[in-house]
Chains A and B, each alone.
Chain A
Amino acid sequence: MAGHAVELDSKTLWGGKESPFSTSYGKLMMWFFLVSDALTFTGLLIAYGYTRHSAQDAWPIGEETFNSMPFLGHGYPLLYVALMTFILIVSSVTMVLAVEAGHRMDKSGVIKWMIATIIGGFFFVGSQAWEWSHFIHGSEFGKIELADGSQAIVKGHFGEIESFTVLKEGKHLKKGEIVKSDLLHQFQHAAETGKIFRSEAMISNLNNQRNIIAALKKDTTGVPGSAEKAISLKANLISLEKELALIKSKPVTAGVLILHDGSIAKINKKSDEHLMLVTKKSGNTFKVGGEPIKDKKAEELYYGALTEGTANKVVYGANLKQNEYGPQQYGQFFFFITGFHGFHVFSGVVINIIICIGVVLGTYHKRGHYEMIEKTGLYWHFVDLVWVFVFTFFYLI
């Protein structure tokens, strides 16, 4: 040990040399910063807990929301976040090994472990990017508002959309043409904007009804024969409404949609498997916390609501205004907490790179100690520490 003697005498004690904690100024300030940063994250997580406790059953459950793996698809609850946690733990270990190598003045060891830490950090940031992208795009089913006003999230295996067959020509597509590309995107867009219907007959029925209502609204006072005409129009409207009710009473599994160019096409889709609706907002019939609706019944309700031809009945993915997983605040907390943590990881990687360059240049070796590695290491472990809590309170509980 090349250290100085640390026995105290009155001269060194009051001469400003001695630290009561036997710690350098830099390391102590790093700790103070970390405590304040920890308070920030604590505040965020407690705010999350507050919102969640006040929302109760409507809050989404981690294993339902996060159950996908890259290349493998759905049905792997929490596996991906566990992998992210493991990556971060490993990079924390390589960091502490770099600190240990520094204590032995082993320059090449420090460089080796620092580079490993930086790689781990990049892997973590990349994983988070995938996670965000997946969260924002959402599932194939989305969240649906059912006829009774309740909202449900949908679980199960989405039957692939094979093609659209054009039934009525639009600006570009001809009758009988088959659309084979960008199917899911067009399907979801039509669902969001209320352009999926039970059948072609339903579309013309709705159009006729709209025309009659417009005609009835027109002021026709003084026009001869207008009263008789209004009566026949009303009779027409009633028969159209009856016809619509009949159309709606028949269950559908896909229906028809209006494409971008105004053409009407039939949706050819494989049937879904293990469909299950979990109520997240109570309506007249279905309540939050009730039994999930399954299989045939779920299929009828889901596609019944989807083919109403009404906009905003279904939400796909997430943004700051709405999300398919649960209450609005859920998405906001997800973006803010994991985003703020991800930003910390990113800045940690940048700081590690800068310090690593310093190590390569021999800056710290010349000083006779690698305390700078300890300081950046403290920050890096702190990032891991925060993730441990985010993992538990956001994903597990």
Chain B
Amino acid sequence: MLRDDLIEYSLNSHHSEEAGKKIRKKIFLVTILLTSITIVEVLLGAFIHQSSSMWAFVKWTFVALTILKAGYIVMVFMHLGDEKKWMRNVILVPYFLFVAYLIFIALWEALEVGNAFATYGN
């Protein structure tokens, strides 16, 4: 049943058996990557304690690895990398602007509240 009053964009993403093989290979590689990142994270978390002098470095490594992992999930698994550039921007840019602002304002405030608790008691 084909309607001529709308365009079936989903048909554009159909691909052949050969193209499928390539895509599956990519999925497989991303799986290996995501799993190894998780393993690295767990090893770091289990062996380097928060009291260690390395901790600040490890913490930012966790944040970077998490964003890397999230990037692969969104761009490859969710196919956002295959969408048009402006669709990508419409989804990602407003979100990141808002979240970056919120993280900054909330954590900065929280540190001050923590200092106030430490100085004047809860």
Contacts and interface: CB of A to CB of B under 8 A. Distances in A.
A50 B109 contact: yes
A381 B31 CA distance: 13
B12 to A, nearest CB: 5
Interface string B15-34: 11100100110010011001
B83 A378 contact: no
A22 B110 contact: no
Contacts of A101: 20
A2 interface: yes
Given A46-B106, A77-B45, A396-B62, A53 B114 contact: yes
A1 B11 contact: yes
A46 B39 CA distance: 25
A283 interface: no
Contacts of A2: 11, 14
A79 B113 CA distance: 34
A92 B76 CA distance: 11
A23 B83 contact: yes
Contacts of A39: 95, 98-99
Chain B facing A: main interface SS: helix
A63 B46 contact: yes
A374 B78 CA distance: 8
Contact of B1 (A97, A367, A388): A367
A31 B91 contact: yes
A232 B74 CA distance: 81
Given A3-B14, A396-B45, A56 B118 contact: yes
A32 B74 CA distance: 14
A17 B42 contact: no
B87 interface: yes
Contact of A82 (B39, B62, B76): B39
A63 B45 contact: yes
Contacts of B118: 56
A303 interface: no
Given A50-B110, A397-B59, A374 B10 contact: yes
Interface residues of B, number: 66
Contacts of B6: 17
B66 to A, nearest CB: 4
A53 B7 contact: no
Interface string A11-39: 00000011111111001100100010011
Interface in A82-103: 82, 85-86, 89-90, 92-93, 95-97, 99-101, 103
A235 interface: no
Interface residues of A, number: 73
Interface in A38-82: 38-39, 42-43, 46-47, 49-56, 61-63, 77-79, 82
Contact of A50 (B16, B62, B90, B107): B107
A17 B83 CA distance: 18
Contacts of A63: 45-46, 49
Nearest to A62: B45
Given A61-B50, A369-B8, A86 B35 contact: yes
A354 interface: no
A23 to B, nearest CB: 6
Contacts of B1: 366-367
A47 B113 CA distance: 13
Contacts of B87: 21, 23, 28, 31
Interface string B28-59: 00110011001101101110011000000001
B92 to A, nearest CB: 9
A385 B73 contact: yes
A103 to B, nearest CB: 5
A104 interface: yes
Interface string A350-390: 00000000000000001111110010011001101100110
A385 B42 contact: no
A16 to B, nearest CB: 8
A43 B101 CA distance: 12
Contact of B7 (A6, A86, A366): A6
Given A92-B77, A381-B77, A35 B45 contact: no
B9 interface: yes
Contacts of A384: 73, 77
Nearest to A56: B114
